[in-house]
Structure 1
Amino acid sequence: MSVQVLIGTGDPALAAQLRTQIAELADIHVVGVEADSDSVLGMVGSHDELDIVLLDDDLGPNSGLHLVREIAMRRPHVAAVLLNDQLDEEVLARALEAGARGVLGRTPSLDELSSRLLAVAEWSRGVRRWLGTSDVGGPEVGGRRGRILAVAGAKGGTGTTTIAVQLALAGVRAGSSVCLVDMDLQTGDVGTYLDLVHRRSIADLVSVSNEITGAMLADVLFVHEAGPHVLLAPQEGEKAEDVTSSAARQIMGVLRSRYDIVIVDCGAFMTEGSVTAIEAADRAIITVTPDLPCLRAAKRLGQLWKRLRVRKQEDIAVVLTRQSRKDEIQPDFAARILGMTPLKTTVPPAFRALEKAINNGAPLRVDHDGFRRAMSQLGAELGILPATAIQPRGAPKRAKAEAT
């Protein structure tokens, strides 16, 4: 099968030149030319056999680097090659950090173009084969695109890990394949909540992030008895620095292609890895408690994401945890402080029930009707659970009996 190449440029002369050069290369075929970033993304999403995208860095309206990131997340097996007049170390470093497979001048020679296309085509075909295997425990997943939900805390103690774990369990109960990722890289404790010990962590994928195979994932992931697959944070907090944005982006892309739902616990401390997960997520939520210091912290966090161009404030969901009708601060007042609209679902306080479940490493056994129902409602509101998954009153007791 010939190598399928898409050209992304608004320059007709450059497009004609590249078409002419590629026509001279055996087994390499141009499937089309798109003149703007939106059209390129549309083609990438609809053309299942696409191998390579040649991207003009001057392509608009989005920058070439932004487009490279989007392609890496949406289609991990598609190789993006950036075309830029400047070929210095800074340009190359930024391109590789974004997930590009290389950089070429805007007027490459035939030999340069041929060697680069053949090299990245081989990489693309290899990744496609790896993503098409089923040795992680699921069906073949080539071309699949799951949903990523990133959960971050306005500060510590707002229930970020609790919500991430519970949503993962709810997703499994609803029949979805779920991967729970602990991206709280310095202080992550998903393993403690699930009472599991595993010798591998996300840090073990960093060195092979550009070529992750199913066997590699199977070795690193822990398959919990309740259903979700778990990718733990490193036990040594200093290894957090090893998880770069480039590695995190590749890992998130591979997981998205293999699971229906990927839930990422980002904690309350921002690292390269957690910020990349938030940027890549379909939905990102901030957990807050109904007190003024926490609400102000959430507002500052939302503004930080906006300044870093990680997430627009209108694209951030806020969930109030430990919310009671007796609290002085209610959701409508919280919304005025935040400048962001909280989700309709609030999570009630369930201290004793959660304490017992966490201490026993049995998150399925949270014996609190309101809390269990809130988790189902939250999952439905976030779009990771069907509305039919909302448990009726009284369901938690039956679920507890089944789990024992």
Structure 2
Amino acid sequence: MSIQVLIGTSDPELAAGLRTKIAELADTQVIGVENNSGNVLGIVGSHQELDIVLLDEGIGPQLGHDLIREIALRSPHVAVVLLSEQLDEEVLSRALETGARGVLGRNPTLEELSSRLDVVAEWSQRMRQLLGTGRAEGPELGGRRGRIVALAGAKGGTGATTIAVQLALAASRAGRSVCLVDMDLQTGDVATYLDMVHRRSVADLVSVANEITGAVLADVLFIHEAGPHVLLAPQDGERAEDVSSSAARQILAVLRSRYEVIIVDCGAFMTEGSVTAIEVADRAVIAVTPDLPCLRAAKRLSHLWKRLDVRKPEDVSIVLTRQSRKDEIQPDFAARILGMTPLKTAVPPAFRALEKAINNGAPVRIDHDGFRNAMRQLGEELGVLPVIAAAEPRGGARRPKAEAI
């Protein structure tokens, strides 16, 4: 199916140049050029297959940013790319705040245009699927419930966010519909790990938690180019107090009805929102590094959840991170300290590979086989990835599973 593009500009030279460049792109079609805001809104409202609007900021009579808001309200699945004379952080921030999916110069190169159109067209098509069945609280999975996995850190720096992000990416690659939720409401860092700029957050859903519609979700969710939909923590940590237990429960229930897998990063600091996620999750996992202070912190946290009647220790899973055979504390000793058996899969140290991937904004490209294998095995163990059966050698004997790293 071709990408349907509408050009909105009163500058005939700009329109002609864009038409010429788009004509060189495969599977991309300009459905028309409109020279005023009223006509743009008319086409957006009537052309159901429209994916993208390339909008000149100088179009009139309605101002460009006001027009972007109007399009987002009327047709939240349509991606708007603003064409601007000036490209800087202020222009980008304002455009994103009003609902645009990106900014291009008024004379973009063919490569720039192609790259941007591909990304926003994928967003538009995914958002169309998300909104296609109406209200978000409906039984979108045909009566089935999505699986919620909540990850918390025994303390800061144990790798809970890294695991949450990587599990979401892996589940998305496996073809599952995935929502990654940052419930680390005070210090959430999922946006940094995924190299995202987005102004909306879970706090924006609180006031409408009783009646979350598809359009509301479309305005708040970010769709990462690698597949998962992302619901971010608020940029201002003090807004964590806005996310009550009741609101968090309603939001997670809506997401459970729309996605097959919901991965929740709860961080290391407990708030009403994160505690609620731990309570309603199908699997609650504490990330622990193999050192005594962290193991004792994990034990205290599990006992806290028990005292608060959130979750019993026997219903909590432990994942060892940065685990090496050279460590003094091995999984069997950790189990004796914790009084809980860690998951079979341990996560090996991969400092350099993770540092490089995060610094380059490429979380899907981690050059560490052991880490990637551990994420796959962990995903299988937690039920967010399909289990891959071990291959059988020609002699018929089943090959033993690889030892957890």
TM-score range, shorter chain: 0.5 to 0.7
SS at match of 1:388: coil
SS at match of 1:323: coil
Report the CA distance shift for 1:153/1:133 in structure 2 as closer, same or farther (over 3 A): same
Equivalent in the alignment of 1:386: 386
SS at match of 1:387: coil
CA distance in 1, matches of 2:161, 2:365: 16
Equivalent pair of 2:139/2:257 in contact (CA under 8 Å):
no
Q: What is the identity, as a one-letter code, of the residue corresponding to 2:175? A: G
Equivalent pair of 1:209/1:247 in contact (CA under 8 Å):
yes
Deviations 1:336-370 (A, max 9, x none): 00011100100000000000011111110110000
CA distance in 1, matches of 2:352, 2:346: 18
Equivalent pair of 1:154/1:298 in contact (CA under 8 Å):
yes
CA distance in 1, matches of 2:144, 2:290: 39
Report the CA distance shift for 1:135/1:253 in structure 2 as closer, same or farther (over 3 A): closer
CA distance in 2, matches of 1:390, 1:156: 36
CA distance in 2, matches of 1:300, 1:339: 11
Equivalent pair of 1:380/1:389 in contact (CA under 8 Å):
no
Matches within 5 A, 1:127-276: 133=133, 140-141=140-141, 143-276=143-276
Equivalent in the alignment of 2:364: 364
CA distance in 2, matches of 1:332, 1:132: 49
Offset at residue 390 of structure 1 (A): 9.2
CA distance in 2, matches of 1:335, 1:200: 40
Q: Which structure 1 residue ranges, 4+ long, deviate > 6 Å from structure 2?
A: none
SS at match of 1:366: coil
Equivalent pair of 1:131/1:257 in contact (CA under 8 Å):
no
Gaps of at least 5 residues in structure 2 are: 1-129, 392-405
Equivalent in the alignment of 1:294: 294
CA distance in 1, matches of 2:134, 2:369: 37
Q: What is the identity, as a one-letter code, of the residue corresponding to 2:369? A: D
Matches within 5 A, 1:52-67: none
Equivalent pair of 2:151/2:285 in contact (CA under 8 Å):
yes
Report the CA distance shift for 1:139/1:358 in structure 2 as closer, same or farther (over 3 A): farther
SS at match of 2:388: helix
Report the CA distance shift for 1:389/1:263 in structure 2 as closer, same or farther (over 3 A): farther
Offset at residue 143 of structure 1 (A): 2.7
Percent of aligned pairs sharing the same letter: 82
CA distance in 2, matches of 1:277, 1:193: 21
TM-score normalized with structure 1 length: 0.62
Deviations 1:126-166 (A, max 9, x none): xxxx9982588x99445331000000000000001000000
CA distance in 2, matches of 1:172, 1:194: 14
SS at match of 2:299: helix
Equivalent in the alignment of 2:337: 337
CA distance in 1, matches of 2:276, 2:142: 23
Q: What is the identity, as a one-letter code, of the residue corresponding to 1:293? A: P
Equivalent in the alignment of 1:322: 322
Report the CA distance shift for 1:271/1:139 in structure 2 as closer, same or farther (over 3 A): closer
Report the CA distance shift for 1:163/1:178 in structure 2 as closer, same or farther (over 3 A): same
CA distance in 1, matches of 2:368, 2:243: 37
Equivalent pair of 2:135/2:212 in contact (CA under 8 Å):
no
CA distance in 2, matches of 1:226, 1:390: 27
Deviations 1:77-117 (A, max 9, x none): xxxxxxxxxxxxxxxxxxxxxxxxxxxxxxxxxxxxxxxxx
Equivalent pair of 2:200/2:232 in contact (CA under 8 Å):
yes
TM-score normalized with structure 2 length: 0.62
CA distance in 2, matches of 1:173, 1:315: 28
Offset at residue 388 of structure 1 (A): 1.7
Offset at residue 300 of structure 1 (A): 0.3
Report the CA distance shift for 1:382/1:390 in structure 2 as closer, same or farther (over 3 A): farther
Equivalent pair of 1:135/1:218 in contact (CA under 8 Å):
no
Report the CA distance shift for 1:321/1:213 in structure 2 as closer, same or farther (over 3 A): same
SS at match of 1:278: helix
Q: What is the identity, as a one-letter code, of the residue corresponding to 1:270? A: M
Q: How many residues align?
A: 261
Equivalent in the alignment of 1:285: 285
Equivalent pair of 1:290/1:323 in contact (CA under 8 Å):
yes
Offset at residue 176 of structure 1 (A): 0.5
Report the CA distance shift for 1:298/1:140 in structure 2 as closer, same or farther (over 3 A): closer
CA distance in 1, matches of 2:132, 2:270: 33
Equivalent pair of 1:144/1:258 in contact (CA under 8 Å):
no
CA distance in 1, matches of 2:162, 2:134: 30
CA distance in 2, matches of 1:390, 1:265: 30
CA distance in 2, matches of 1:363, 1:211: 34
CA distance in 1, matches of 2:242, 2:349: 36
